[in-house]
Amino acid sequence: MAHPLPATMKRIHKEIADVKKEDLGNITLLPSDNDLFVWVGALPGPEGSVYEGGVFNIAVNLPPDYPFSAPKVTFKTRIYHMNISDQGNICIDILKHNWSPALSLFKVILSLSSLLTDPNPKDPLVPSIASQYTRNRKLHDSTARQWTELYARPKPPPPPPPPRAAPPKPQVKQGKKTIRTSGGSSSRGDLIVIDDSDDEGRGRRSEKRKRETLAEIDLVDDDDAAASTVASGSKRRAVGENRASRPTAGSSSRRPIISGEVIDIEDD
């Protein structure tokens, strides 16, 4: 591109400011991020026209001597129109011999919107569409609507992602725990059984504790056994739960026994 004129840069900045002040409605028009000579825009199909519901993207290229030369405007979205070619070129008088430095890009966009509503069959760029327009208007309008639906209809936004399900709660396996504790002496110990299973699905936790106590029993010697009222034969002494025989004087031996154990004592 040739070096732009100072008047050109001044005019471009003025049009940028004017576009920000104008009420464009659904029309968009603005320069690209990295080149003030390349503008982009979006033109919605006029209400009541065969292009209603569509959005047509356009590109605008400004010459180095703008506004003394007309801008080049093309449609980037395909459209079924007698004054717009398949390549997006536009046949409109203000972009050719009727261009004036008094015109602006904003007025060009408004003229394009009017062209969609009122095409010009006397100066067509696509003669076949112009012929169909004059001879079979119903077919022309039906085809134009189909193209609008196919090429210019904005695609709906994607649906929002479904909410993430909460992670399942970890299931704790319930069962029985057995803990054995030992006391200070070696002759006594506690056995504790804890049952933390559910009680028939009602959520109640029962705890069973079983305690096993080791008892001691004294074995008497033969002399003490002779003094007892029991005659010769076998003697049996049952030790109940949590009970132990008292130690007797002169006992010759002692060992721990478990509750409920039965011990046979043979007399000589």
Show which residues are catalytic.
Answer: 91
- CB neighbour list of residue 223: distance below 8 Å, 6 or more residues apart: 250
Separation between Cα atoms, residue 210 and residue 212, nearest integer Å: 6
3-state DSSP assignment of residue 226: helix
Element (H, E) at 176: strand 176-182
Nearest to 40 by CA among 50, 31, 52, 49: 31
CB-based contact 55:152 (threshold 8 Å) = yes
Nearest Cα neighbor of 126 from 144, 142, 148, 113 is: 144
Containing 56, the helix (H) or strand (E) segment is strand 55-61
Residue type, 230: V
Q: HSE (CB half, 13 Å, CA atoms) of 45? A: 22
Is 48 buried (19+), middle (13-18) or exposed (0-12) by CB count in 10 A?
exposed
What distances in angstroms separate CA 235 from CA 20, 246, 255, 262, 266, one per listed residue? 117, 17, 18, 11, 6
DSSP conformation letters of 67-136: TSSPPEEEESS---BTTB-TT-BB--GGGTTT--TT--HHHHHHHHHHHHHS--TTS-SSHHHHHHHHH-
Q: How far is CA 219 from the centre of its chain?
A: 79
